[in-house]
Structure 1
């Protein structure tokens, strides 16, 4: 077995690999050289410099795994690797502790005014009274987003004798109790926390999650920290809140535009700013190298690594049968995950027809979970880790088989139950993913692009009222599908629209007479 180290990594990772394989270190390899020689290797370790393009991957006839010693995989053509049967892994967990510690560093820096005090002393000043600080003990930390990093931040804040509140709309109460935290809604967290730390991905739901309204709801003296993604905090609103004294201070490692050249926030003394370095420590780089090496070693031993970001291998014959349904599974999972309200408790999956005869359905279930969980989590979800994540979230997954596929080659039926809602969807492949039933109502919709789903009373004028309101906001309808159980009963509407429907428009539609619920989706 032969491994190429194409970018600089910690020596510990290289040493570990040498125990199991021949290792070639060539950290200055050019794209042309890589393309010419990649077929000699069973594995490759990269960071951000080396680009695993489609052309390189197509030449990698013997390559089994691409290991990215870091978080992102923008420099890897994931689709080409999947088609070639090459596993792609990263080392996202290597930065968990590092980012959590940086978060605590920012909390201490803003609470004790360390940055401006340091600057003052270096200017030969002695302004002790100017830098009166705030203790962490007996204060309340509010964590927004309870993923790997958020959990570690709470663990560390307890060492400072702080109380903790957490907001995560997708974390069940049982999981929160196991972590020893109180789960609350965002409004309560904002009103009660003395320190607020953000640990969520940047999505359409979290864009400007903390804005003018939230800052006004915070109590005087609140501090806010963001080591997740720029854009979760509205920086204009943050500037106003800091400038006016509505909040006491902020610590930022990420910004809406990076680098934040000319950002007016940088003018303020009650802001501590770092240049997106929360994940940058010697230990994190060491751990990334070790984890990358461990993943490769698992493959060299004939085992499956745990951080695979693409499909696990299946035999070619089975893969050809499953291939059209993998996209369908991800789309159905995403559709039902975005369309249901509340915390997911139970997921039921039934495979009908041809798929019921396949023994290796595990990849389909994992792909459904990937689609279900990806929009709501601040971590990479893939077909390898999706089941473990579902288990950690206390989601009960059951599978079944049926021979009857109602005239189709195969049908996949999914039903989700939450603490406040139930939603079911059925789909098949008809030259592409197709939704054929929602809540047992027959429809015919392609799960793609911007969509809208509404439950309503089948009364004349309701459909028109929904369309009129969308038109009022210049939202054009592409296709419309409706289904009902009986005339005048409950009905369901599925639209494809040309543009994403803003959240406030969705809320307005929910208030329409005879509309029971409405939701916008992006697939």
Structure 2
């Protein structure tokens, strides 16, 4: 087998078995960073959990690496930016832990509401303090969920069994989804003020860092609980300690901490907080599923199939993929056309999606395809769908996307404009009758199948010019297969596209450009 996969952390055996039919699998669950730096160049993929750190140094030491797989959800131990720059996919298994983390969340809520943890400790110490552990029912209480992704949705489902009313905060939840789940969407401040139990299920980002701090604790009900099984750092732990120690809120359940383990945390002193050691995702079922999911994602990549859990490139659901797939061929041809007609360094690329295509989600995949076709011929580093936008940004190329409902009479249309040091190029294309076509070049109407070799000439629209260009081509035994002419006005400037049967040498193009009233000429090979 020509593919090799390094298993750098312990994963479920079923995940390892999934890979054995397609790759050589090398388990090394205790590999050190120093050893990893030496051997990573030999592997096409690496699977990690949380122990192994896939740093920039490791990534830059790799030669063949195509995939970094995290058998879990978070990728804190992977330098995603460095991987993206090298065109390496970073994949994870977000669905593997949804139920497991949701169940742990409910476990913390129950432990808080019925004081299970401290009651257990009391009994084990030989005491029988029934009066000390008066709890509360969850029935009729309001659950506030921050973040309605896979885990948040699973928590909502389970809270219904306890008779809880649910309010949620998530800027991206649709009305349809909210209705199906039976939740009320509110703003963050309302959720904080009205929740009896508040649970967090969002990633740690600059926007969510210390999302819950002193001002938020001051808004909460005095008898409220807060639970965090997402990421440490979303809650300001110093402010949480103050709120708990002064009975500003009733209690807290944490599975994650800003610093792990939280050795010097003042929270360890309190008995109205339940703490677990980042184990919300730690069930045998979740670890099994995570291993199988990332193994299958790696197999897809090795077979040339797009994986679904890539976090550093857009992922398309099957319906969207089928809708935009016909435009892949058009995008490829437009990209090749653009780079062969550009003069000098590329400065800007603007892509506009028109008509029905403007309503499709995730156009970014098509824009990345254009960048891939434009940049690969001019760069030594490989450019792919993962790193295309990063490479363009690093090269100082401004990339913009736009939408337009008017498609000039077509069902859908893609317009690409490119500015380089010495010229501007614009191309508009459609996909019709199962084939791509170019219908506009630099503002001139044409109808061209982008295939083979094409000679594009710009000239003054007057009698004899087309003939002189055709004669010059004939002098060099180049046969014309098809011809298209576009002009804006009679006697103005016109564009002629000739489809020819062979490559047009550069010296022939120079001779054409010297013809009287010929303003420019370029050949493209598609």
TM-score, shorter chain, exceeding 0.5: yes
1:129 to 105, 128, 131: 131
Tell me how many residue pairs correspond in the alignment: 362
1:198 to 197, 200, 210: 200
Paired position in structure 2 for 1:208: 210
Higher deviation after alignment, 238-247 or 32-41: 32-41
1:4 and 2:9 matched: no
1:4·1:26 contact (CA, 8 Å) conserved in 2? Answer: no
The structure-2 alpha-carbon separation of the partners of 1:74 and 1:107, relative to structure 1 and needing over 3 Å to count, comes to closer
Q: How does 1:233-312 map to 2 (within 5 A)?
A: 233-311=235-313
1:100 to 99, 102, 107: 102
1:6·1:29 contact (CA, 8 Å) conserved in 2? Answer: no
Q: How does 1:124-523 map to 2 (within 5 A)?
A: 124-311=126-313, 350=352, 363-365=365-367, 401-402=414-415, 409=424
2:353·2:404 contact (CA, 8 Å) conserved in 1? Answer: no
2:148·2:170 contact (CA, 8 Å) conserved in 1? Answer: yes
The structure-2 alpha-carbon separation of the partners of 1:73 and 1:165, relative to structure 1 and needing over 3 Å to count, comes to closer
1:94·1:288 contact (CA, 8 Å) conserved in 2? Answer: yes
Measured in 2, the distance between the counterparts of 1:31 and 1:117 equals 43
Paired position in structure 2 for 1:25: 27
1:367·1:383 contact (CA, 8 Å) conserved in 2? Answer: no
Measured in 1, the distance between the counterparts of 2:347 and 2:154 equals 34
Measured in 1, the distance between the counterparts of 2:240 and 2:55 equals 40
Deviations 1:276-331 (A, max 9, x none): 22222222221221111111121232211111234589989959969xx99999xx
Secondary structure of the equivalent of 2:310?
Answer: coil
Measured in 2, the distance between the counterparts of 1:18 and 1:184 equals 49
Measured in 2, the distance between the counterparts of 1:326 and 1:66 equals 31
Shift of 1:409: 4.1
Alignment root-mean-square deviation, CA: 4.2
Higher deviation after alignment, 299-308 or 72-81: 72-81
1:239·1:264 contact (CA, 8 Å) conserved in 2? Answer: yes
Secondary structure of the equivalent of 1:196?
Answer: strand
1:65 to 57, 64, 67: 67
Which structure: larger Rg? 2
Measured in 2, the distance between the counterparts of 1:401 and 1:178 equals 36
Measured in 2, the distance between the counterparts of 1:206 and 1:326 equals 37
Shift of 1:13: 0.5
Give unpaired runs (5+ residues) of structure 1.
Answer: 333-348, 353-359, 369-381, 385-395, 413-523
Measured in 1, the distance between the counterparts of 2:347 and 2:257 equals 34
Shift of 1:98: 2.0
Higher deviation after alignment, 138-147 or 74-83: 74-83
Give the TM-score normalised by structure 2: 0.59
Measured in 2, the distance between the counterparts of 1:102 and 1:326 equals 52
Measured in 2, the distance between the counterparts of 1:252 and 1:72 equals 17
Q: How does 1:33-72 map to 2 (within 5 A)?
A: 38=40, 41-52=43-54, 57=59, 60-72=62-74
Give the TM-score normalised by structure 1: 0.59
Paired position in structure 1 for 2:121: 119
2:102·2:152 contact (CA, 8 Å) conserved in 1? Answer: yes
The structure-2 alpha-carbon separation of the partners of 1:24 and 1:364, relative to structure 1 and needing over 3 Å to count, comes to same
Measured in 2, the distance between the counterparts of 1:204 and 1:82 equals 20
The structure-2 alpha-carbon separation of the partners of 1:169 and 1:405, relative to structure 1 and needing over 3 Å to count, comes to same
Measured in 1, the distance between the counterparts of 2:334 and 2:35 equals 34
Measured in 2, the distance between the counterparts of 1:24 and 1:406 equals 48
Measured in 2, the distance between the counterparts of 1:196 and 1:411 equals 53
Measured in 2, the distance between the counterparts of 1:123 and 1:33 equals 47
The structure-2 alpha-carbon separation of the partners of 1:186 and 1:67, relative to structure 1 and needing over 3 Å to count, comes to closer
Deviations 1:164-184 (A, max 9, x none): 110123333333223321101
Deviations 1:258-282 (A, max 9, x none): 3323322222211111222222222
Shift of 1:193: 1.7
Deviations 1:125-181 (A, max 9, x none): 001111011111221111112122111111111121211110123333333223321
Secondary structure of the equivalent of 1:177?
Answer: helix
Higher deviation after alignment, 185-194 or 105-114: 185-194
Give unpaired runs (5+ residues) of structure 2.
Answer: 316-327, 355-361, 371-384, 388-402, 406-411, 428-526
Shift of 1:201: 2.7
